[in-house]
Chains A and B, each alone.
Chain A
Amino acid sequence: MADGAAKAEEYESQHVHQVYEEIAHHFSATRYKPWPIIAKYLQSIPSGSVGVDVGCGNGKNMTVNSNIFIIGSDRSESLVKIAADKKSHDTVVGDILDLPHPLGQFDFAICIAVVHHLSTRERRVQAVGAVLSLLKQRNSTAKSDKDATALIYVWALEQKNSRRGWDEGGEQDVMVPWVKKGSKTSEQPDKIVERYYHLYRKGELEEDIREVGGEIVESGYEKDNWWAIARRCDQRVENQLGPQ
């Protein structure tokens, strides 16, 4: 592995993975409802489809449609344990850049609020490619409603109306504090932990998707996030992921 990638991984381990382990339960308690576009997307998936939820967190998006099967994965073992309560689906512990799935076998994929935690452009593009590579290949060059697609969500730089107040032109690589409430009984004070985020500017998610041979089906902005539904359009997606 290149030195840079090793450094990036070490950085993410400290500023993303360990933080989620620490805040898993509190984090999970604040994440209980799928966002409208995610719910609509999952409801539109045909019955009997099999897909993945890469970075499933506590599994809140996994119960939207009971006629599809979702395999969730997350880097945080603590969050996966919470997600494992969703008995009709399944969850494993895994890393987006080393997913334990065969390529080209899935009808759909969702990857919500995950890619923005990778700390270099190269790794973010690889992550998008890893998600798209799981999708079934199209049989023909003609577009079809039945093409396998992936829904990807990332946090937006442009959110001047949010309490964070970030906006166009601002710093894109930021540390975001999470206040971990202490316990009054044991006199534990509140503790602030910070997670690393790369805030996506308008159009950047689409660029990352095209970079790995993906094609945008639909994209937009919902509540401080950029989202895109993409399909694979050629072999490039898979070729990039071959042995290095």
Chain B
Amino acid sequence: MKILTLTFLTCARKSCKPEPTSYPLHPTSAELEIIPVDFNPLFLRALLPRLDWPTLRILCEAFGLPGLQEEAPEEDALFLQPEEGGAMEDVEVQGEKGKEVVEDVEKKGEEETREASQLAKDLHHLLLETTMQEGKLVCGCCGHEYAVKEGIANFLLPAHLV
């Protein structure tokens, strides 16, 4: 189970859902494994505004992973700037008008000529490649423990908790 997924999970019990302490679930005795996934910087850029950054910071701490910066990064931080990457040279030649066109295209998310930054690669690694293989996810509200085995969390409730 990916760290990104953990930011979209909570206790399966209906009575816990309205309680803020039920989210996020707390990982314990976790074994992490890196499972490579294709790097897709355009997806990452589009995903950025969807991230629950404070929760990601909590999860990193719970897993003993390197701390994340306090605030979510800006979209631009995911890419090397033109002077670093040099991919925007053509635009300069075309002058101001050409530049606007290129920027428009970028905003629509159809094209991205800039090279991904180290931060983007680190985020990809954290969100999509770092997976919890074994351990438990504990609800901070009711204390119920959900087992994670071979990378799969099981949220089926025993009959008395349904």
Asked if A14 CB lies within 8 Å of chain B CBs, one says no
Asked if B109 CB lies within 8 Å of chain A CBs, one says yes
Residues of B in contact with A, size category: 35 or more
A80 touches B152 (CB 8 A): yes
Residues of A within 8 A of B48 (CB): 48
Distance of A241 Cα from B18 Cα, bound (Å) = 10
A interface footprint on B1-43 (CB within 8 Å = 1, 0 otherwise): 1101100111111110110000100000000000111101011
Nearest CB of A to B21, in Å: 13
Asked if B79 CB lies within 8 Å of chain A CBs, one says no
Distance of A88 Cα from B43 Cα, bound (Å) = 12
Distance of A98 Cα from B38 Cα, bound (Å) = 32
Asked if B58 CB lies within 8 Å of chain A CBs, one says no
Distance of A241 Cα from B151 Cα, bound (Å) = 29
Distance of A100 Cα from B11 Cα, bound (Å) = 5
CB closest chain-B residue, reference A92: B153
A95 touches B155 (CB 8 A): yes
Interface SS of chain B: helix, strand, loop or mixed? loop
Within 8 A of A (CB), among B74-99: none
B interface footprint on A55-99 (CB within 8 Å = 1, 0 otherwise): 000000000001111010101010011001001101111110111
Asked if B46 CB lies within 8 Å of chain A CBs, one says yes
Asked if B143 CB lies within 8 Å of chain A CBs, one says no
Nearest CB of A to B13, in Å: 7
Residues of B within 8 A of A92 (CB): 1, 5, 9, 152-155
